[in-house]
Amino acid sequence: MDSEMTTKDEEMEEAAPQKAEEEKKKKSKIVMLVGAPGSGKSTFSEDVMKTSSRSWVRVCQDTIANGKTGTKAQCLKKATDALNDWKSVFIDRCNLDREQRSEFLKLGSPHVDVHAVVLDLPARLCISRSVKRTGHEGNLQGGKAAAVVNRMLQKKELPKLNEGFSRITFCLNEKDVEEAVKTYGALGPLDTLPSGSFGQKNPDAKVQLGIMKFMKKVKPPNNSSKDPVSKQESKETNPSSKEQDVVAFSAQNTDKNIKADGNSRERPAAGSAMTNDIPTLAFPSISTADFQFNHKKASDIIIEKVEEFLDKIGNGRLVLVDLTSGSRILNLVKVKAEQKNIDSSKFFTFVGDITQLYTKGGLHCNVIANAANWRLKPRGGGPALEIATKEAAGDAGCIEPGSALTVPLPSTSQLHKREGVTHVIHVLGPNMNPQRPDCLNNDYDKGCKILREAYSSLFEGFTSIVRTLTKEFNKDPSKSVSTVPSSLIDQRSKREGVFESDSNKKYKGPKVEVGVEKKSESTERFTGDGTIKTWGSWAQSLHRMAMDPEKYNKDVLEISDDVVVLNDLYPKAQKHLLVVARKDGLDRLTDVRVEHLPLLRAMQNVGVKWAMKLISDEPSLVFRLGYHSDPSMRQLHLHVVSQDFNSTHLKNKKHWNTFNTAFFLDSVDVMEEIEKCGKAKLNDNESLMSVELRCNKCRSAHPNIPRLKSHISRCRAPFPSDLLQNGRLVLAPN
């Protein structure tokens, strides 16, 4: 409509908006904040917005959904809207890994620069801030915060320019942050900043410098005495306070007391290839030495927390370590663990120096705990110790009692190279010693609470490491979970992304990319109602194992031409195995035809064989073998599950009903059905998942899972007659 107007003014009016638009376009910026909770992202953006003459929009995931935590998608939308409005945007979420950042980077354009401001402050500072703050918008408070921050920092990938940033500013301390606030606050509407990466000291450092220096204080035994630092330390440290002080990390040039725990609690043969592969956390008793926490109470808490976490740590194990075999706490815990019948292959006690468990005790522990005493004041342990502590604690001064800090060890560190320790978890317990700071004055209510928190944080940290290892292993099974000595196994490959050693070569097999399906249609399944569902990536692991069992050697109990036998990763009973068919294309029961009967019989036979083997070890076990009508995991698999259903992994109605309704099809019945009708009759009915919870023996109904579980642990009724027929149950001959 303006096109016909010809006066000068009007021409100018026509051109002006275009020009203004261009100008506006140029001035938009995305500043992506990168940092853990507590690193000060929100404060940073607020401080900039206070002084800036630009128009900023802060996109904060913690508050985006009407003040509550929202989704990444919501953030993307708000950012897009703001950019369309020619505003500049702060992306205020952690953005700690490349994947999380990638979608926001796509919002960049020739007119919109994307900057990163990395708030790479000491982990302790972030943790203590997150723990302390109340009413934080993201609701990340209290003890949980420490675990969350730890987990996040472990996965941290610092941003690089090649991701698409035009400028990256690294802030390693408060002063850097102040500078960056000034820089961005002073940025006028049309100003630009030089491109490039600023402020990063060591591009590949994942570990805080202070802690790296701290760790370097661990020297091999033969040269530690030459090191004036450790000499001083061992001289000046009160032997009675060894455990709580950082002396755990000073080399102890002594052989005394380095011996395996000779007492009754069984310790799996250390040093064998098998045990080397088990993620293991060695930890001292927290707070019982220098912090004078009551030993009896402490031992109860250790047992309580060990029991709580034993199921969460997957294939990992926990080892309580003390220097002397006469240790009271060690003996208390040992007796209680025996009384409680705790699996001694997953938790045991060990006598030795926690920094030399592998070289002096033959016990490989990839993670060790340091019962920290960050608050050690100068009089505590001599100048060297003071410096070390200060460095490790950074500007924040301390970690909070009850919290833990996971520190990955550089591969160059002695602990890593010599002992195979890949992580140290620092944990601070409650103090009952009036001679030490923050004494709780015999307040054991509070003390026990903090000690529980401390163990929770410690075990949580370890759980997270185990999880990461397992994930890495699943992603690339040729990368061993083992870390002994990890420097020999994966350092180069991690750096260069190649595997050339012979042991890895032989697993390479045919040129099939792991995780990439050969046939796209094979990831789909036809459900009963004629719809097609896609198998999610998490649902593919059994298929992968069945196709390449050698790659998963240590997770597999048996490999034959027909089947692979393995322990269910999340057992729903004391014993829960899977017999997985190896035939490609047999995803589930609907794919089974008469020609597969021999295979089904083979699966049944292998399942019975394993059930009988387990029964011979534990005659009270009773097994049922069967298939799920609509399995979640791809690749036909037979469940061999003991009927106690005593497992922490059995958590909800669906878990129960998949094993205790018609959804569960007994192997014997399936084979009979196929023989008769040519295929299995499925009970793929969603409503079966929501039927009331009934005891598998007396068939009584129960209102919820905890009540049901408590009932089945006591119910002594015989199995119902239908289960006792046709060999549906495998049980010990009486």
Partner DNA sequence: GTTCTAGAAC
Residues of the shown chain interacting with DNA in the complex, contacts defined by CB under 7 A? 68-69, 71-72, 139, 312, 536, 538-539, 570, 628, 631-633, 649, 651-653, 655, 658, 690, 703-707
Polymer length of the chain: 734
- How many angstroms separate the CA atoms of 43 and 317, rounded? 41
Amino acid at 474: N
Q: Which of 423, 596, 637, 639 is catalytic?
A: 637
- How many angstroms separate the CA atoms of 671 and 727, rounded? 12
| CA-based nearest residue to 591, from 628, 626, 635, 561 | 635
Q: What is the per-residue burial (b if ≥16 Cβ within 10 Å, else e) of 670-697?
A: bbebbeeeebbebebeeebbebebbbbb
Q: How far is the CB of 560 from DNA (least distance, A)?
A: 23
Burial of 624 (0-12, 13-18, 19+ CB in 10 A): buried
Looking at the Cβ atoms of 86 and 645, the one nearer to DNA is: 645
- How many angstroms separate the CA atoms of 34 and 158, rounded? 8
Looking at the Cβ atoms of 68 and 98, the one nearer to DNA is: 68
Cα 713 to chain center, whole Å? 31
The packing angle between helices 444-475 and 142-154, to 10°, is 30
- How many angstroms separate the CA atoms of 553 and 271, rounded? 18
Do 116 and 41 form a contact (C-beta atoms < 8 A)?
no
Looking at the Cβ atoms of 193 and 705, the one nearer to DNA is: 705
Q: Distance of CA 456 to CAs 165, 436, 453, 516, Å?
A: 39, 23, 5, 38
Please identify which residue in the block is written with the tokens 């959904």.
65
Looking at the Cβ atoms of 141 and 491, the one nearer to DNA is: 141
Looking at the Cβ atoms of 156 and 653, the one nearer to DNA is: 653
Q: How far is the CB of 516 from DNA (least distance, A)?
A: 18
Looking at the Cβ atoms of 72 and 106, the one nearer to DNA is: 72
Q: How far is the CB of 134 from DNA (least distance, A)?
A: 16
- How many angstroms separate the CA atoms of 415 and 411, rounded? 9
Task: State the CB neighbour count (10 A cutoff) for residue 326.
Answer: 10
Looking at the Cβ atoms of 68 and 175, the one nearer to DNA is: 68
Q: How far is the CB of 75 from DNA (least distance, A)?
A: 11
Q: How far is the CB of 706 from DNA (least distance, A)?
A: 4
| CA-based nearest residue to 252, from 263, 266, 237 | 237
Looking at the Cβ atoms of 703 and 718, the one nearer to DNA is: 703
510 in helix, strand or coil? coil
Q: How far is the CB of 116 from DNA (least distance, A)?
A: 21
- How many angstroms separate the CA atoms of 281 and 425, rounded? 9
- How many angstroms separate the CA atoms of 691 and 662, rounded? 11
Q: How far is the CB of 649 from DNA (least distance, A)?
A: 5
Instruction: Check if 115 is active-site.
Output: no
454 contacts: CB under 8 Å, gap ≥ 6: 286, 287, 401, 402, 403, 404, 427, 428, 429, 430
Q: How far is the CB of 314 from DNA (least distance, A)?
A: 9
Query: Rounded to the nearest 5 degrees, what angle is found at the Cα of 635, between the Cα atoms of 578 and 722?
Result: 55
Q: What is the per-residue burial (b if ≥16 Cβ within 10 Å, else e) of 337-356?
A: beeeebebebbbbbbbbbbb
Q: How far is the CB of 721 from DNA (least distance, A)?
A: 27
Q: How far is the CB of 674 from DNA (least distance, A)?
A: 21
- How many angstroms separate the CA atoms of 571 and 258, rounded? 37
55 contacts: CB under 8 Å, gap ≥ 6: 86, 87, 88, 189
Looking at the Cβ atoms of 219 and 588, the one nearer to DNA is: 588
Looking at the Cβ atoms of 173 and 632, the one nearer to DNA is: 632
Query: Rounded to the nearest 5 degrees, what angle is found at the Cα of 574, between the Cα atoms of 571 and 580?
Result: 45
User: Among all residues, which ones are annotated catalytic?
Assistant: 637
